[in-house]
Amino acid sequence: MTKITPQPGIMDIELYQGGAAHVDGVNNVVKLSSNENPFGPSDATVKAFEATARSLHRYPSSDHLALRTAIAEVHDIDADRVICGAGSDEIIAFLCQAYAGSGDEVVHTEHGFAMYPISARAAGATPVEVSECNRVTDVDAILEACNKRTKLVFIANPNNPTGTMIAAAEIERLAQNLPKQAILVLDGAYAEYIEGYDGGAALVDARENVVMTRTFSKIYGLGALRVGWGYGPKHIIDVLNRIRGPFNVSNSALQAAEVAVRDQAYVTHCRDANAKWRDWLAHALGEHGVPSDTSHANFILARFSDENEANACDTYLQSQGLLVRRVKGYKLPNALRITVGDEASCRQVAHAVGQFKGGAR
Ligand code: PMP
Q: Which residues pair with 211 in a beta bridge?
A: 185
Distance CA 198, CA 286 (A): 30
Atom of ligand 1 nearest to the CA of 226: 15
Cis ω for the linkage preceding 158 (within 30 of 0): yes
Residue of minimum CA distance from atom 13 in ligand 1: 87
What's the mean pLDDT when you consider all of the chain? 96
- Comparing CA positions, the residue from 89, 86, 128, 83 lying closest to residue 107 is 128
pLDDT-derived band at 361 (thresholds 50, 70, 90) equals low
Q: Quick check: CB of 37 below 6 Å from ligand 1?
A: no
Instruction: Please give the number of the atom of ligand 1 that sits closest to the Cα of 228.
Output: 16
For ligand 1, atom 5, the nearest C-alpha belongs to 160
Does position 360 have pLDDT exceeding 80, yes or no? Answer: no
User: Hey, which of 37, 71, 95, 115 would you mutate to test ligand 1's pocket, going by the most ligand atoms within 8 Å of its Cβ?
Assistant: 115
pLDDT category of residue 29 using cuts at 50, 70 and 90: very high
Q: Give the rounded percent of residues in the chain with a pLDDT score beyond 90.
A: 93
Residue 277 and residue 264: Cα distance in Å, rounded?
A: 20
Q: What is the pLDDT of residues 163-200, one digit of tens each?
A: 999 999 999 999 999 999 999 999 999 999 999 999 99
Q: Give yes or no for residue 324 having a pLDDT over 90.
A: yes
CA of residue 191 to ligand 1 center, whole Å: 11
Q: What is the mean pLDDT of residues 338-358?
A: 97
Q: What is the distance, to the nearest Å, from the Cα of residue 126 to the centroid of all Cα atoms in its chain?
A: 21
CA atoms of 268 and 195, how far apart (whole Å): 8
Does the pLDDT value for residue 282 go beyond 80? yes
Residues 61-115 have pLDDT tens digits of 999 999 999 999 999 999 999 999 999 999 999 999 999 999 999 999 999 999 9
Taking the C-alpha atoms of residue 297 and residue 339, their distance in angstroms, rounded to an integer, is: 9
| pLDDT tops 80 at residue 33 | yes
Nearest-atom number in ligand 1 for the CA of 216 is 16
Please report the pLDDT score of residue 25 as a whole number: 78
Query: What pLDDT does 336 receive?
Result: 98
Give the pTM: 0.96
pLDDT value of residue 26: 79
- Asked whether 119 lines ligand 1 (CB < 6 A), one says no
The lowest-confidence range among 13-17, 98-102, 259-263, 305-309 is: 13-17
pLDDT digits (tens, 9 = 90+) for 35-62: 999 999 999 999 999 999 999 999 999 9
The radius of gyration computed from the CA coordinates of the chain, to the nearest angstrom, equals: 20
Q: pLDDT tens digit string along 216-258? A: 999 999 999 999 999 999 999 999 999 999 999 999 999 999 9
The C-alpha atoms of residue 143 and residue 215 are separated, in whole angstroms, by: 27
* Higher pLDDT pick, 84 / 2: 84
Q: Is the dihedral of CA 232, 133, 293, 160 positive or negative?
A: positive
Place 279 in a pLDDT band, splitting at 50, 70 and 90.
very high
For residue 215, the ligand 1 atom closest to its alpha carbon is 16
- Is 201 in contact with 231 (CB distance < 8 Å)? yes
Flag whether pLDDT at 283 surpasses 70: yes
pLDDT of residue 154: 98
Q: What's the confidence (pLDDT) of residue 318?
A: 95
Q: Which domains does the chain have, with CATH numbers?
A: 10-40+265-360 (3.90.1150.10), 54-263 (3.40.640.10)
Q: Is the pLDDT of residue 1 over 80?
A: no
Residue 19 has pLDDT above 70, yes or no: yes
